[in-house]
Homo-oligomer: A and B are copies of this chain.
Amino acid sequence: MVVKKQKQTKQSINRQELEARILRSAEIVFAEKGYNGSSMEAIAAVAKISKQNLIYYFSNKELLYKRVLKEMLDIWIEKLSFLEKDGDTPEQVIRRYVHEKMQLSRLYPNGSKVFAHEIISGAPMLKDYLVSHLKPQFERDVKLVKSWISKGLIADIDAEHLFFTIWAATQTYADFSLQMEVLLVKTSLDEDDFERAESAVTEFVMRALGAKKIN
């Protein structure tokens, strides 16, 4: 792809920084309030600019929302490519997959929540993207898992539902973190919690694959 070389003026730098700050702010508000519950005013307040200025950068709410969603999804698609490196065993591939997904829950909890709100709501703004981007990757990954099964490398499990379970089990640490905080009596999930979570989920998945040795 050709990227137009842009002169870096004081303005253009400010612009980039401010856009990024707006997107982060929007993510926070959308995660907490959903699309309808979030006002441009509230987002502007978090970004510490006026509402009118926010509208100058993102001319309307829907556009801003879609940008937030798309940023999250692009990161996911990128990080979760289920590629086999040479010499990797299925176990290694899946282990890395779970690790990456868990990282994403930890690093981008707000984006994850925005996505969750959107899917639960019937994905009015996202369905096309799911079909065009997520589905091909899903189908490729399922095919790979099935080939492992037919080669006898892993147990004969339900490949599609394996993915659903991995996604659910990892994403829950972003979306439902509040429930866990209440149950574990913590104000927020810390690094240790995520480590425990990751090793619990990893072990869970490894056993599902029929791995002989766990550690």
A37-B36, A168-B172 are contacts. A123–B196 as well, Cβ < 8 Å? no
Contact B119 A120, beta carbon cutoff 8 Å: no
A120-B113, A204-B208 are contacts. A164–B182 as well, Cβ < 8 Å? no
Chain B residue numbers with a CB within 8 Å of A120 are: 31, 113, 116-117, 175-176, 178
Assembly CA distance A194 to B176 (angstroms)? 23
Is A40 in contact with chain B by the CB < 8 A criterion? no
Contact A164 B180, beta carbon cutoff 8 Å: yes
Nearest CB of B to A38, in Å: 8
Chain B residue numbers with a CB within 8 Å of A131 are: 182
Chain B residue nearest to A179 in the complex (CB) = B119
Assembly CA distance A130 to B182 (angstroms)? 7
Nearest CB of B to A142, in Å: 9
Chain A's interface size range is 35 or more
Contact B197 A183, beta carbon cutoff 8 Å: no
Chain B residue nearest to A121 in the complex (CB) = B32
A172-B167, A175-B119 are contacts. A203–B157 as well, Cβ < 8 Å? yes
Residue interface bits A111-143, CB-to-B below 8 A is 1, else 0:
001001101111100010011001100110000
A182-B134, A207-B207 are contacts. A34–B37 as well, Cβ < 8 Å? yes
Chain B residue numbers with a CB within 8 Å of A25 are: none
Is A72 in contact with chain B by the CB < 8 A criterion? no
Assembly CA distance A14 to B164 (angstroms)? 43
Contact A138 B33, beta carbon cutoff 8 Å: no
Chain B residue nearest to A204 in the complex (CB) = B208
Is A17 in contact with chain B by the CB < 8 A criterion? no
Is A161 in contact with chain B by the CB < 8 A criterion? yes
Assembly CA distance A184 to B35 (angstroms)? 27
Residue interface bits A40-73, CB-to-B below 8 A is 1, else 0:
0000000000000000000000000000000000
Assembly CA distance A164 to B176 (angstroms)? 9
Chain B residue numbers with a CB within 8 Å of A127 are: 178, 182
Which one of B36, B134, B176 lies within 8 Å of A119 (CB-CB)? B176
Assembly CA distance A120 to B119 (angstroms)? 12
